Structure 1
Amino acid sequence: MPVNSWPAGEAAARVPHTGPVSGVPVVVVGAGPVGLTAALLLARRGVGVLVLERYAEPYVLPRAVHLDDEVFRVLQDAGVADVLVAHTRPMAGLRLLDGTHRVLAEFRRDPAAGANGWPQGSFVHQPDLESVLAAAVAAEPGIELRRGVEVTGLRQDDGGVAVITRDRTTGEDRSVHAAAVVGCDGAGSTVRGLIGARMRDLGRADRWLVLDVRSDRPLGLWPGVHQVCDPRRASTCMPVTGDRYRWEFRLLPGETAADLAGRARLGELLAPVVPVEGVEVLRAVEYTYRAQVADRWRDGRVLLAGDAAHLSPPFVGQGLGLGLRDAHQLAWKLAAVLAGEAGDDLLDTYQAEREPHARALIRVALLLGALMTGGGRGGAVVRRAVLAAVRRIPAVARLATDSRTPPLRRGLLVERRGRAGRRLAGTLVPQPEVLVEGLPCRLDDVLGDGDAELTAGLLVRRADGTRVQVEDPSGTLTAWLRGATVRIRRDRIVGSARGTDRP
């Protein structure tokens, strides 16, 4: 069923996003997916944004390949999800294979829209994602994007942040005055270094060969992730979108990407799946997967997001997803501070709320990586026995495909009083298809841009005073509320809940 951005009718007319404010902008450093999404979210909340990117042209080769349903809600808020979804493909789930490519276990994902209104997992070609985001940024009058400009210094005072930049073509140095700076400049973040933050290891580094290829014919792969649990050489393969595929192979001690990237060696590596003939290698690089979190994500009005703040191994596909969740939460908090709705202490809650989630998913990635690829020959025997049991325990099996944000802890913005509060506060409200005046729409669009309240009777009270009655044909919201009334934050996290919560 098609879903409207917002149904017609005066009672349900969507509150438009405010235009960009005049005066000092927020400077976003880095024009990757996290930086561009942060810019769009800020601009849609009335904040002027200047994006600085050190490279003159977008990076055209793929990197991230996975988006989950929670992250699609972030992109929905940024105004690009409906355009992007045409460039993605639902992911069927995860298959674990032994060294001979026999299936040990299969963990499926439903390709249909789930509790968050989007497929539980989707493959994406990162250049497609960046192209969609860049087009949205170009159409947004509140955002200016400057490429070929690197940040070389930061100076903070009571009036904001002086950002020292250098044009990489002319060598000209300039200073830009910013209300705040958001460092979305990746694993080698300049901004992180300028504020004196350091990355802390959560696990050991792991070296892999990453192959991105195109095929002139369909390869007939199952449309999900294949994890080969081979004690001799662990590997991963997946069909991405269109004619693109991704392979990853763990490098052995002393090996380099160059050792394996020759046509003959590639033929050996790909032989269990496909013949190398007709396969065009787009990229063959060594990548070191790290498990790290920055010791601090904020220094005054300078904040970190995405890979600048944390790095995750790939085993739950959440490197990009963590960064986009950062952008979603940081955008509304920063906009509220700049609008004078809250003091700077609101920014203290950013790392306090986001870091536990980042650490939790990084640790799950480390655990699953060890379970799926570690242990040598003895580990392969144990793995087969363990997986036979795991498949019969749904709660354990969900770890392989579940990337839900864990409930936020009790804090300044999360109140866990009463039975309903303890159950619902800190969790993400589901987004089923609802009806307003008989027309289908997405719940996030009904909630509007500010805080909102959802009553047990399915009445939405928005921050601007508008009241909208919704219907819940699937019964998802009704079952989730169980008679409670919830206050929903701008990032769709429940801040508090009260009222009946039937056992």
Structure 2
Amino acid sequence: MSKTPEYDVAIVGYGPVGAIFANLLANYGLKIAVIERAAAVYDKPRAITLDHEALRVFQAVGLAEVMENAIAPHNGSHYLGVDGEVIKMFDPMPPPYPLGWIPNVTFVQPDAEQALRDKLAGYQGADVFLSATAVALAQDEASVSLQARAESGDAFEIRARYLVGCDGANSFVRKHLGIELEDLAFDEWWMVVDTLTSEPAKRPARAFQYCWPSRPGTFVPGPRNLRRWEIKLLPGEDPEAAGAPDNVLKLLKGFTDTSDLTIWRSAVYRFHALLGQGWRARRVLLMGDAVHQTPPFLGQGLCAGIRDAANLAWKLALVMRGHAGDALLDSYEVERKPHVRSVVASAKEFGKIIGELDPAAAMARDAQLRAELKSGKAQTIRQKFIPDLVGGLIASGAKLAGGLFVQPHVRAADGPLRRLDDLLKPEFAIFAATPAAMSGISEASLSSWRQLGGERVVIAGSGESSNRDGIMTVVENERLFADWMQANAVEAVIVRPDRYVFAGAENPQRLSMLIEQLIQNLHAGP
């Protein structure tokens, strides 16, 4: 394998995670190849929920306006006990929204995927090979070679510096690498039924979890006229027979009047909780369902894959540019694996609440959850179950390290009110409320910062926007950023390209030290 790679990164799999990842890489100017078995976007919904972090990534690839017009607010969930009364609830997070987006939404997956593909088509450095199957791969110290077969039967080879498997639960890439999946002990058969209603106002605009031992189920209202039910199969029920059209309708009638519904899609799934034991083998990495699978009860399956994409894209870009050592890529697993494990644990917990089949245990569950709800002990904001980063490329022990940076609406010089990220490059950035907070940065640190492509941004509460001496000043229209900084007693924050906080600094001197620490860490790895 002595030939120079034709591509920087090869991506196997062009589902939503692969498509977002491809767009993020193309936005950095990397030359990429995407290999996908299917001929076109799968035309029916699979994932139906996104959170504000995922929407922020859609924004990062230039699809904010598209998503704004495609989503519907997720108005929370009520868990109904054996008697049909509420035993647990999730409410929508109240404004101000910390990341600049509604925290939980529903969407129509085929539309979002098509928008991602249309966006990628605008990049000259992105080649997409549809109806092409990966059949073999090999790697050496400099590149990866992927053998693929087109629908015509013709074989072709793609060579890249790195390869990323985004090829789903049955991942060819993962199997080729021999990476095992750790079983996190959840295994249930459920039917998913997507319907289109002719009477959109007929049902409440919130989700319901039917915690009924006789037949557990879920209702999720999607955008426009999409309505979804998820129905648990009971012990002894044959998954294949359960999916027969007559049976689908019969089960659906147990939850709702079906007279206004047209079934768009029904499928029987085995809901798993699985976690890849390794996420990287030298120049090959795994992402999304290829390396983790979660039950759907927290609405985080696709969101987890989108986080993977956002986490890895900028690291690959820095390594390609020579601004970071290859060991930085090890921080991908260090950061993402514990995060996914935590999210899966919460999803499992909610799945067990919903899916309890023992009537006596269900009655005891109802009494306990109802008491927790009444006493105020129960956590009712879904986003509180999404953790921060606990390791990797963050300044351990520093304030705010590992949390997500807020996204206020701001006004730049002579411009309209916009979400902050729209004014930034996808690079590191230092944010402060005043220029004085950045005054202690040494010349050496400033030079390193510029070399890294880092930005310096002042988010003021009032006054004029400007762009002077390498510092962009914007004005926020509310106090989201100001209050966040004040609450955490920091003067400045160093934020990564994926908008996770590397560190908060209490004073200008500490900021200078943290910049040096970041530069060293980039070259040393996690």
Shift in CA distance, 229/296, structure 1 to aligned 2, threshold 3 Å: same
Distance of 2:128 and 2:146 partners within structure 1: 15
1:278-289 equivalences under 5 Å are 278-289=260-271
State the 1:254 CA deviation. 2.2
Asked if 1:463 corresponds to 2:467, the answer is: no
> Cα RMSD over matched residues?
2.3
State the secondary structure of the residue aligned to 1:231: coil
Distance of 1:115 and 1:298 partners within structure 2: 32
Q: Which consecutive residues of structure 1, in runs of 5 or more, have no partner in the other structure?
A: 1-21
State the secondary structure of the residue aligned to 1:367: helix
Q: Residue in 2 aligned with 1:331?
A: 313
User: For 2:61, which of 78, 97, 101 is the aligned residue?
Assistant: 78
Distance of 2:171 and 2:72 partners within structure 1: 31
Asked if 1:486 corresponds to 2:463, the answer is: no
State the 1:457 CA deviation. 2.3
Q: Residue in 1 aligned with 2:410?
A: 434
Asked if 1:269 corresponds to 2:245, the answer is: no
State the 1:448 CA deviation. 2.3
Number of aligned pairs?
A: 473
Of all paired residues, the percent bearing the same amino acid is: 34
Distance of 1:453 and 1:489 partners within structure 2: 9
Q: Residue in 2 aligned with 1:190?
A: 172
Q: Residue in 2 aligned with 1:32?
A: 15
Distance of 1:398 and 1:99 partners within structure 2: 20
Distance of 1:243 and 1:278 partners within structure 2: 11
Distance of 2:496 and 2:274 partners within structure 1: 29
User: For 1:406, which of 368, 379, 387 is the aligned residue?
Assistant: 387
Matched residue type, 2:502: G
Distance of 1:464 and 1:114 partners within structure 2: 24
The farther-off stretch of 61-70 and 101-110 is 101-110
Q: TM-score, normalised by structure 1?
A: 0.88
The farther-off stretch of 302-311 and 99-108 is 99-108
User: For 2:328, which of 335, 342, 346 is the aligned residue?
Assistant: 346
Q: TM-score, normalised by structure 2?
A: 0.85
Asked if 1:160 corresponds to 2:164, the answer is: no
Distance of 1:375 and 1:271 partners within structure 2: 20
Judge conservation of contact 2:93–2:383 (CA < 8 Å) in 1. no
State the 1:270 CA deviation. 3.0
State the secondary structure of the residue aligned to 1:60: coil
State the 1:373 CA deviation. 2.5
Q: Residue in 2 aligned with 1:15?
A: none
Q: Residue in 2 aligned with 1:7?
A: none
Asked if 1:224 corresponds to 2:206, the answer is: yes
Shift in CA distance, 102/262, structure 1 to aligned 2, threshold 3 Å: farther
Q: Residue in 1 aligned with 2:444?
A: none
Distance of 2:396 and 2:107 partners within structure 1: 37
Distance of 2:303 and 2:88 partners within structure 1: 25
Distance of 1:445 and 1:204 partners within structure 2: 40
Distance of 2:327 and 2:249 partners within structure 1: 56
Distance of 1:176 and 1:405 partners within structure 2: 37
Judge conservation of contact 2:429–2:455 (CA < 8 Å) in 1. no
1:278-329 CA-to-partner distances (Å, cap 9, x unmatched) read 4222222210010000010101111101000100000100000000000001
Asked if 1:397 corresponds to 2:404, the answer is: no
Distance of 1:309 and 1:182 partners within structure 2: 11
Distance of 2:390 and 2:93 partners within structure 1: 29
The farther-off stretch of 273-282 and 53-62 is 273-282
Judge conservation of contact 1:257–1:285 (CA < 8 Å) in 2. no
1:297-446 equivalences under 5 Å are 297-374=279-356, 376-392=358-374, 396-398=378-380, 401-402=382-383, 405-411=386-392, 413-417=393-397, 421=398, 423-437=399-413, 439-446=416-423
Q: Residue in 2 aligned with 1:296?
A: 278
Matched residue type, 2:293: L
Q: Residue in 1 aligned with 2:445?
A: none
State the 1:113 CA deviation. 6.6
Distance of 2:83 and 2:363 partners within structure 1: 14
Shift in CA distance, 469/152, structure 1 to aligned 2, threshold 3 Å: same
State the 1:201 CA deviation. 0.5
State the 1:213 CA deviation. 1.3
1:255-280 CA-to-partner distances (Å, cap 9, x unmatched) read 13454445654454333543223422
Shift in CA distance, 409/26, structure 1 to aligned 2, threshold 3 Å: same
Matched residue type, 1:406: P
Judge conservation of contact 2:334–2:391 (CA < 8 Å) in 1. no
State the 1:464 CA deviation. 5.2
1:102-126 CA-to-partner distances (Å, cap 9, x unmatched) read 4334322158671111111110111
Shift in CA distance, 270/24, structure 1 to aligned 2, threshold 3 Å: closer
The farther-off stretch of 220-229 and 304-313 is 220-229
Matched residue type, 1:444: D
1:129-170 CA-to-partner distances (Å, cap 9, x unmatched) read 111111111222221111010111111112210111111x22
Shift in CA distance, 294/151, structure 1 to aligned 2, threshold 3 Å: same
Distance of 1:92 and 1:151 partners within structure 2: 41
Distance of 1:404 and 1:107 partners within structure 2: 11
Judge conservation of contact 1:434–1:443 (CA < 8 Å) in 2. yes
1:328-378 CA-to-partner distances (Å, cap 9, x unmatched) read 010000111111111110111000000010000000001111123225212
Q: Residue in 2 aligned with 1:11?
A: none
Judge conservation of contact 2:182–2:276 (CA < 8 Å) in 1. yes
Distance of 1:52 and 1:132 partners within structure 2: 18
The farther-off stretch of 35-44 and 337-346 is 337-346
Distance of 1:114 and 1:392 partners within structure 2: 26
Judge conservation of contact 1:486–1:497 (CA < 8 Å) in 2. yes
State the 1:197 CA deviation. 0.8
1:186-227 CA-to-partner distances (Å, cap 9, x unmatched) read 000001111111111011311101111112222622222210
Distance of 1:81 and 1:378 partners within structure 2: 48
State the secondary structure of the residue aligned to 1:398: coil
The farther-off stretch of 444-453 and 94-103 is 94-103
